[in-house]
Amino acid sequence: MSAVLVNALEREILSEIPLARAMELRVDRTAGDRIVLAAPLGPNINDKGCAFGGSLASVLTLSGWALIVLRLREAGHDCDVYVQDSQLRYLAPVWGEIRAEARVADGDSWDSFLGMINARGKGRLRVVAVVADANGQPATTLEARFVALRREPAVQAARAGVG
């Protein structure tokens, strides 16, 4: 993924999502068709001294969203991306930095998803994201379906303050 697009997306997330700013969220790395978002434990701690469940859910959801947004932008698509449904599993406490790695779920593909966007202006894609514990085992997992809708020129103009 393009470093320019990744840096722009991180700035956008931090400027437009106050929760992400409070969580001190950052794009840790991208590799192939995966993205890792990270947030320090300090601002995301609960009363037991481990990561707050809401922070885990937020970082996991944002990792899936960011993966899709970046891929769409690389393909030249201007879309709004929404989480349609998701399932979280809390398997073990997270005692350190939250690092959520997202990828496309088995059985789904970028080609099919981008083909739907090209043909109909909308598409759905399933994403799997994982936060590992200190031993590298899944501590929290997310399986989510996201929907992308191509922005129409009138919507784009309204967002830009034109018209």
Nearest residue to 82 (alpha-carbon basis) of 111, 140, 123, 26: 123
Q: How is residue 83 written in tokens?
A: 């989480």
Ramachandran angles phi, psi of 54, nearest 5°: -65, -35
**What averages of pLDDT result for each successive group of 10 residues across the chain (163 residues)?**
90 96 96 94 98 98 97 95 98 97 97 96 98 96 98 62 54
Residue 19, domain extent:
3-160
Q: How many Å apart are CA 103 and CA 119, to the nearest integer? A: 23
| pLDDT at residue number 2 | 84
Instruction: Please check whether residue 148 is in contact with residue 123, taking contact to mean a CB–CB distance below 8 angstroms.
Output: yes
| pLDDT at residue number 57 | 98
When divided into structural domains, the chain yields a total of 1
Beta-bridge partners for 123 = 148
| pLDDT at residue number 160 | 59
Q: Considering all CA atoms of the chain, what is the largest pairwise distance in Å, rounded to the nearest integer?
A: 55
Find the radius of gyration of the CA atoms of the chain.
16
Look up the CATH number of the domain holding residue 93: 3.10.129.10
| Per-residue pLDDT tens over the stretch 49-76 | 999 999 999 999 999 999 999 999 999 9
| pLDDT at residue number 32 | 80
